[in-house]
Structure 1
Amino acid sequence: MSESCEICALVSAPDDARELREAGATRIYLDVIDREPTEGLADEVRRGLVVPVLDEVCREGDHARLDPWVMEGRPVAVGNVSELALARERGALAEARGCIPAHNAAALRALDAMGACLAWLSPELSLGQMCRLARAGALPVGACVFGRPRLMTCEHCALQVAYACDRDHANCPYRYKSHWLVNIDERALPVRTDGRGRSRVYLDEPVDLVPEALELARAGVGRLLVDARNVPLEQAARGVGRCVRALAGEAVEREGCVGLSERGVE
């Protein structure tokens, strides 16, 4: 296995972390979009058990919920420049999520100047583009190698089209049902809506770069991520295990498409 490359996993519930750790993940990220910064979770962040992943949207009313996750000396994955600026101010170890565009070395250098210690590469990039950016050495980079990428965030609840809405998004019973946005090519894209009424649309199948994990590691990608939020936990754990094997030089099977570039997104 490449000693310089760390296998990571992103979960939406802390209880999911155990199975992914057992499969080989050594760094756990927790999506806190629908989680308040309780003392228990804050303690897990301080002890390095989880790294909080913040929203890509930050309005004035979001700061009370998001800002407490940004702690001095602790890693945090930020999804917007506002929280990146706060992380620099507080001395946190900010990782820029892929929704902060970094499609060339100049953008990576700009993120470095703004205080980011690592950038997660956009899923819109092809495998070759990811490798070239990693080799540029402008900033340490990570890449998601398995999971359904987010295609769009809508600040208005997409479920309002189908149901009567009382604006009480946090207690909406429809949020917990499965919903899809049917694309013009009849692809059923999963829709997830959070407690603030923001809907996110995801690809209908996982992107799977696990077979290319060793190539990414050799190019200089320092962290490889399995996103367990929108796939069965068993499949995510299998993805972590396949990543362990791929970094050890084994040939592994593919369980999804090669990337968004396959779908015409460059």
Structure 2
Amino acid sequence: MSKNCELCALVRSIDDAPALRAAGATRIYLDVIDAQPAPELLARVAEEGVIPVLDEVCREADHARVDPWLRGGMPAAVGNVSELALAHECGALVETRSCIPVHNTSTLRLIGDLGARLAWLSPELSLDEACELARADALPLGVTVYGRPRIMTCEHCALQVAYDCNRDHAHCPHRGEAHWLVNIDDRALPVRTDACGRSRIYLDEPLDLVPYATNLAEAGVARLLVDAASTSVDEACDALARLRRALAGESVERHGIEGLAQTGVE
């Protein structure tokens, strides 16, 4: 059963794809939140078989940046229902990101009716809940087994608290620097701000379900993903190596938390 799982990786740059493929990923996802859909990049994504992962926020002004990634017969992962509808309309091979929450089989069937071919499960689900949904066989499922979960998306730039802001977010000299939001229990939560001035806040430690890969595979999960966008390429390659060993029946150690319920993040 475990051999039927496809190993996937999420990258922030298409240039990172070869390293993840060499580590064992056969399906590469590209975070395009900060990428403009230039013709040369669209062509390269198609040529290399990379799947664009679209924004979870799409206001009217965002359509010119987001919509071109959805193309008939080409795969994409969408983060909101409006883009799911557009993907279905244009014939894209669409998957739903974990920010479109699916916590029961009724929702899985509904998004399947709306055109989704696969749903990525929320990191808020427990291992048992993920396995239960997979066994229901309502829609093919994917699970991120290694990566820092996104705690929240803030539509306003969090960096404005620390720096003067001229509202030219795309050319902000601070966006490329490392920043953290320290919460009430002194957790330093990484902050990433995009060119639209939206900040995404991530957990300070990775969620690691790699030791439970066989449980997920045997329950029927179709794709297992390691996240090199919220961690690093080296960490993701290490996670892929552990993932391959786990699916081969070896015992592997855990390099992070088992679930969000353990953290008590406020």
TM bracket, shorter-chain basis = over 0.9
Q: Where do residues 87-106 of structure 1 align in structure 2 (5 Å cutoff)?
A: 87-106=87-106
> Relative to structure 1, is the Cα distance of residues 119 and 48 closer, same or farther in structure 2, using a 3 angstrom cutoff?
farther
Look up the SS of the partner of 1:116 in the other structure. Answer: coil
Residue 198 of structure 2 corresponds to 198
- Report the AA paired with residue 259 of structure 1: G
Q: How does 1:53-72 map to 2 (within 5 A)?
A: 53-72=53-72
Q: Kindly, what percent of the aligned residue pairs are identical? A: 65
Number of aligned residue pairs = 265
Runs of 4+ in 1 over 3 A off after TM superposition: none
Is this contact kept in 2: 1:24–1:240, CA < 8 A?
yes
* 2:168 aligned with 1:165: no
Residue of structure 2 in register with 1:143 after alignment: 143
Counterpart in the other structure of 1:207: 207
Instruction: Describe the SS at the equivalent of 2:226.
Output: strand
Letter in structure 1 aligned against 2:140: P
TM-score, normalisation: structure 1: 0.97
Q: Give the aligned residue type for 2:42.
A: A
Secondary structure of the equivalent of 2:100? coil
Q: Which stretch of structure 1 is more off in the superposition, 67-76 or 40-49?
A: 40-49
Residue 21 of structure 2 corresponds to residue 35 of structure 1: no
**How far off its partner does 1:113 sit?**
1.1
The question of 1:114 aligning with 2:83 is answered no
In the TM superposition, residue 47 of structure 1 has moved relative to its aligned partner by 3.1
What is the SS of the residue equivalent to 1:129?
helix
- The corresponding residue for 2:16 is 16
Quick check: 2:145–2:225 contact (8 Å CA) kept in 1? Answer: yes
Give the conservation status (yes or no) of the 8 Å contact 1:118–1:141. yes
Question: Does the 8 A contact of 2:3 with 2:247 survive in 1?
Answer: no
Given the alignment of the two structures, is residue 189 of structure 1 paired with residue 193 of structure 2, yes or no?
no
Given the alignment of the two structures, is residue 128 of structure 1 paired with residue 128 of structure 2, yes or no?
yes
Residue 43 (structure 1) shift = 1.6
Shift of 1:264: 4.5
Deviation at 1:11, TM superposition (A): 0.2
Q: 1:233: Cα distance to partner?
A: 1.5
The one-letter code sitting in structure 2 at the alignment partner of 1:103 is H
What's the offset of the Cα at 1:235? 1.1
Residues 126-183 of structure 1: CA distance to partner in whole angstroms, max 9, x if unpaired? 1000000111111110000000010000000000111110000000011111111111
Amino acid at match of 2:168: D
Take 2:35 and 2:94, find their aligned partners in 1: how far apart are those partners? 19
Q: Which residue of 2 aligns with 1:255?
A: 255
RMSD of aligned residue pairs (Cα, Å): 1.2
Between the aligned partners of 2:224 and 2:112, the Cα distance in structure 1 is 20
- The residue identity in structure 2 corresponding to 1:204 is D
Once residues 130 and 261 of structure 1 are traced to their aligned partners in structure 2, the CA distance between those partners, rounded to angstroms, is: 14
Deviation at 1:66, TM superposition (A): 0.7
Aligned mates of 2:165, 2:264 — CA distance in 1: 35
Look up the match of 2:243.
Answer: 243
- Tell me by how many angstroms 1:261 deviates: 2.2
- The 2-side partners of 1:195 and 1:207 are apart by 27
Deviation at 1:80, TM superposition (A): 0.3
- Structure 1 window deviating more from structure 2 (254-263 vs 94-103): it is 254-263
User: Which segments of 5 or more consecutive residues in structure 1 lack a partner in the other structure?
Assistant: none
1:2 corresponding residue in structure 2: 2
**CA distance in 1: counterparts of 2:261 and 2:82, whole angstroms:** 29
Contact 2:9 2:25 in 1 (8 A): yes
Matches of 1:264 and 1:66, distance apart in 2:
34
- 1:45 is displaced (CA, Å) by 3.1
User: Quick check: 1:48–1:74 contact (8 Å CA) kept in 2?
Assistant: no
C-alpha contact (below 8 Å) 1:45/1:74 kept by paired residues: no
Q: After superposition, what is the alpha-carbon deviation per residue over 1:33-68, rounded to whole angstroms, capped at 9, x for unaligned?
A: 000112222123333520000000000111111111
What letter corresponds to residue 147 of structure 1 in structure 2?
G
Aligned counterparts of 2:91 and 2:261: Cα–Cα separation in 1 = 36
Given that 2:207 and 2:257 are in contact with CA atoms closer than 8 Å, whether structure 1 keeps it comes out as: yes
